[in-house]
Chain A
C-alpha cells in the first residue's frame, strides 16, 4: 500500500503524466492502473506556446517539434511534483518498432533535463508478452507493497493492454466526432497519433477543417494493420518496420480506395525521419488520383500561411469535386 514503511516507495501520492508523444500511442488507461496501486494521476496541461518555450531551452535543436513540446510538458509537471511517469514504448506489435526518439524517450528526458527527476518508467513491447508483463510487475512492485494491489494492477494491464484502435465499419467512420454535417465533403487527415490529437501540434488544422464544413477522417480511425487484414499491400511495397509507418501507409491506402474521401492531408514534422521515407512511397500514387496536401510543420510555422494553404487546398478540392463549381 506504500504506507511509508519502505523508503524506496515514492513519497508522493501523485504521479505526473506528460501529455505528449507516448501518451497518445495507446488507449491503455494508466490512470486506472495507478489508481489500483493507490496513486493519483496528474496530467500536464494542454500544450501551448509557453509549453513549447519552456521545453525548448533544454532540447537539442535538431529534435522534432513534438519532442520539444514534450519537454515542456515534463517541465510543467516538475514544477509541482517530481514523480513523472514516462512509458517506454518500443513496439506495438511483433516485428515492428516505434520511432527511436519515442523508444529512448525516458532516457532522453532523464539525461538532458538538469533538474532532478524521479522517473518511473516501464519498457513496453507489445510483441513480447512475457517480457512486458515482467516489466509491469516490476513497476507495480516498486510502487506498492500490497500483493493484492500488485496482482490486480498486473491483471488490469493484461486485460486491457490490447485496447488498440479497432477497425470500425465504414459507415461509422463518418459519424463520430464530426460536429458539422459535412455538406462539403470529407477530408482524410493522415499523421502520427500525437499530431492528430494535440491541437497545438497540428496548429488546429482539424478544427479549422470542421469549421469550414468538412467531415474529417483521421488515420487514427484505421486499424493498426494486423496480419489478417485484407490490405497488406502498402502500395505494393514491403511492410515498413515502424508502427507509425505501417499505420500511415495503411491509412493512406484505405483513404485512397475510399470513394467518400475527396482529399487527403498529410501532417508531418520537420526532421521526422520515418515520414521522410514513408511520404515518398505514397505521395506519387495519391497525387495522381486525389487532391493531396503534404504539410511539414515546425515551431516556425505561421498560422496565417498555413490557413491560406488549407483554404487553397479545400477550394481546389471542391472545384475538382464538380458539385460546387461556384464555390471558392
Chain B
C-alpha cells in the first residue's frame, strides 16, 4: 500500500510539490484549499503566540490528515535562528497530543532528506530520485515564471481578470505535464500566452517591491488576495523571494559564493550591512537589503509584510523607518495575524499606494518635501 503524504499549501505551490511527491512514489493527499476553517483549526491547536504561518500550515496538515494521510511533508531544517527550525518538533508534539499519529518528512536540500525518504520508500533508486528532482526544479521555475508574468501584466490588462484566467489555465496545464521535454515546450507557450493578453501601455502604473516573511509573500490567503487587489489598482508587484531561491539559499555553497562574488544576494547583504551586520534569522537581513535594492532598481515603494511575533522581522520592521529616510523610499510595514481584517488591511494598502501615486504623478510644489512614512500598529 502506498504511503499517503500531505503537505501544507503555500500559495499555489502545491502544484509543484504534488508532482514531486507523486514521482517519489507517494500517494498525495492535497489538503483542501486554505479556508477560514484551516485557520480556525490552526488557532485552536497552536500556541497562542505562534506565528501566522505556523497556524495556517498546522491547519492545512490537520485537514490533510483528516483526508487520510499518514505522513506529512514540511519545509524546514534543524538549523537557523528563527522558529522555523523548531516547527517540525512542534508539529509532532501538537499532532501527537491531539491524537493524529503521523510521521514527518522534512523537505530540504540536505542529505537528510534522502535518508528520510529511503525510510518511507525503500525501493527508490538514486537515479530516479535525481530525475525527479530535475523535473521538480524545472516545474518550480515554470511556476514562478507564470506567477511573475501575471504580476507584471495585471496592472496593464485591458480586460480585468485576463491575467488571473490565463494564470489559472497554465497552472492546470503545469499540473498535468510531467514529461521533461513537454515542460520545455510549455515554457514557450507560457511566454506566448501572456504576450497575447491585450494591454494598455499608457496606464500610469507604479512599481512596488514586496519584502518580508517568506510565507506571507507566497500565500494569498493570509494576505487576503493582496496580489490581485493591488494588481487591479494599477500596481506592479515584485517579490523579493521565491521558493527556488529559498531552496538554493539553504545551500552552503551558495552562501560561500554570495560572500565573494557579485551575486544578487551579495549586493543585498552589502546594503544591509549598514543596518544589520550579521544574519539574525529568517529573512530579517534580506528584508533590509532588498528594500534598498528595490530603490536602486527604481521602484516607487516597498511593502514589508510580517506575521505578528516573528522575531527577525520585528527587528527589521523597526529598522525600516530608518532605511526609508536614508534611501528616500516609502516603506509600509504591516504586521499580520489571524485577526487582521480585510477592509482595514486594504485601506492601508490603498492609502499607501495613493500617496505614492500622488507623489509620482503630481509632483509637489516644494521639491524638498521628504515623504517619510511612520507606521505603527
Q: Which residues of A contact B (CB under 8 A)?
A: 59-63, 90, 97, 99-101, 103-104, 107-108, 111-112, 123, 237-238, 240-241, 270-277, 279-281, 284
State in angstroms the CA–CA spacing of A281 and B46 once bound together.
Answer: 11
Identify 24 residue pairs between A and B in the complex whose beta-carbon atoms are under 8 Å apart, listed by A's number: A60-B318, A62-B377, A97-B81, A100-B281, A100-B282, A100-B311, A100-B312, A103-B81, A103-B280, A104-B284, A107-B315, A107-B319, A108-B315, A108-B318, A112-B321, A238-B78, A240-B86, A240-B89, A241-B78, A241-B85, A272-B49, A273-B311, A280-B93, A284-B97
Size category, B interface: 35 or more
Are the C-beta atoms of A111 and B322 separated by less than 8 Å? Answer: yes
Which residues on A sit within 8 Å (CB–CB) of B263? none
Are the C-beta atoms of A101 and B322 separated by less than 8 Å? Answer: no
Q: Which of B90, B318, B335, B376 contacts A277 (CB under 8 A)?
A: B90
Contact A276-B49, Cβ < 8 Å, known A62-B308, A62-B309, A237-B93: yes
A-B contact count (CB 8 A): 107
Shortest C-beta distance, A97 to chain B (Å), equals 4
Are the C-beta atoms of A273 and B315 separated by less than 8 Å? Answer: no
State in angstroms the CA–CA spacing of A84 and B217 once bound together.
Answer: 37
Which residues on A sit within 8 Å (CB–CB) of B377? 61-62
Interface centre among B50, B83, B97, B275 (most CB of A within 10 A): B83
Which residues on B sit within 8 Å (CB–CB) of A275? 49
- Other CB < 8 Å A-B pairs besides A101-B311, A284-B97, 15 of them? A60-B314, A63-B314, A104-B276, A104-B280, A111-B275, A111-B319, A112-B318, A272-B309, A273-B49, A273-B310, A276-B48, A276-B49, A276-B309, A277-B90, A280-B50
Find residues 16-67 in chain B having any chain A CB closer than 8 Å to their own CB: 47-51
Shortest C-beta distance, A282 to chain B (Å), equals 10
Shortest C-beta distance, B337 to chain A (Å), equals 10
Find residues 237-282 in chain B having any chain A CB closer than 8 Å to their own CB: 275-278, 280-282
State in angstroms the CA–CA spacing of A108 and B86 once bound together.
Answer: 25
Q: Which residue on A lies nearest to B335, using beta carbons?
A: A62
State in angstroms the CA–CA spacing of A240 and B48 once bound together.
Answer: 19
State in angstroms the CA–CA spacing of A34 and B288 once bound together.
Answer: 33
Residue B68, interface by CB 8 Å: no
Are the C-beta atoms of A100 and B275 separated by less than 8 Å? Answer: no
Shortest C-beta distance, A269 to chain B (Å), equals 10
Are the C-beta atoms of B80 and A241 separated by less than 8 Å? Answer: yes
Q: Which residues of B contact A (CB under 8 A)?
A: 47-51, 78-83, 85-86, 89-90, 93-94, 97, 275-278, 280-282, 284, 308-312, 314-315, 317-319, 321-322, 335, 376-377
Are the C-beta atoms of A123 and B278 separated by less than 8 Å? Answer: yes
Are the C-beta atoms of A238 and B89 separated by less than 8 Å? Answer: yes
Shortest C-beta distance, B25 to chain A (Å), equals 27
Which residues on A sit within 8 Å (CB–CB) of B321? 112
State in angstroms the CA–CA spacing of A284 and B335 once bound together.
Answer: 30
Contact A279-B47, Cβ < 8 Å, known A104-B284, A273-B309: yes
State in angstroms the CA–CA spacing of A63 and B85 once bound together.
Answer: 21
Which residues on B sit within 8 Å (CB–CB) of A107? 275-277, 315, 319
The 4 closest A-B pairs by CB, nearest first: A276-B49, A60-B318, A100-B311, A280-B47
Interface centre among A103, A108, A123 (most CB of B within 10 A): A103
Which residues on B sit within 8 Å (CB–CB) of A279? 47
Q: Which residue on B lies nearest to A59, using beta carbons?
A: B318
State in angstroms the CA–CA spacing of A63 and B317 once bound together.
Answer: 10
Interface centre among A63, A90, A107, A112 (most CB of B within 10 A): A107
Shortest C-beta distance, B96 to chain A (Å), equals 11
Shortest C-beta distance, B369 to chain A (Å), equals 20
Which residues on B sit within 8 Å (CB–CB) of A276? 47-50, 309
State in angstroms the CA–CA spacing of A271 and B49 once bound together.
Answer: 7
Shortest C-beta distance, B333 to chain A (Å), equals 8
Contact A271-B309, Cβ < 8 Å, known A63-B314, A100-B284, A240-B86: yes
Which residues on A sit within 8 Å (CB–CB) of B319? 107-108, 111-112
Q: Which residue on B lies nearest to A296, using beta carbons?
A: B49
Which residues on B sit within 8 Å (CB–CB) of A284? 97
Which residues on B sit within 8 Å (CB–CB) of A272? 49, 309
Shortest C-beta distance, B376 to chain A (Å), equals 6
Q: Which residue on B lies nearest to A273, using beta carbons?
A: B311
Q: Which of A63, A104, A108, A270 contacts B49 (CB under 8 A)?
A: A270
Which residues on B sit within 8 Å (CB–CB) of A237? 89, 93
Which residues on B sit within 8 Å (CB–CB) of A241? 78-81, 85-86
State in angstroms the CA–CA spacing of A78 and B254 once bound together.
Answer: 42
Are the C-beta atoms of B81 and A100 separated by less than 8 Å? Answer: yes
Q: Which residue on A lies nearest to B306, using beta carbons?
A: A62
Q: Which residue on B lies nearest to A281, using beta carbons?
A: B93
Which residues on A sit within 8 Å (CB–CB) of B315? 100-101, 104, 107-108
Which residues on A sit within 8 Å (CB–CB) of B93? 237, 280-281
Which residues on B sit within 8 Å (CB–CB) of A271? 49, 308-309, 314
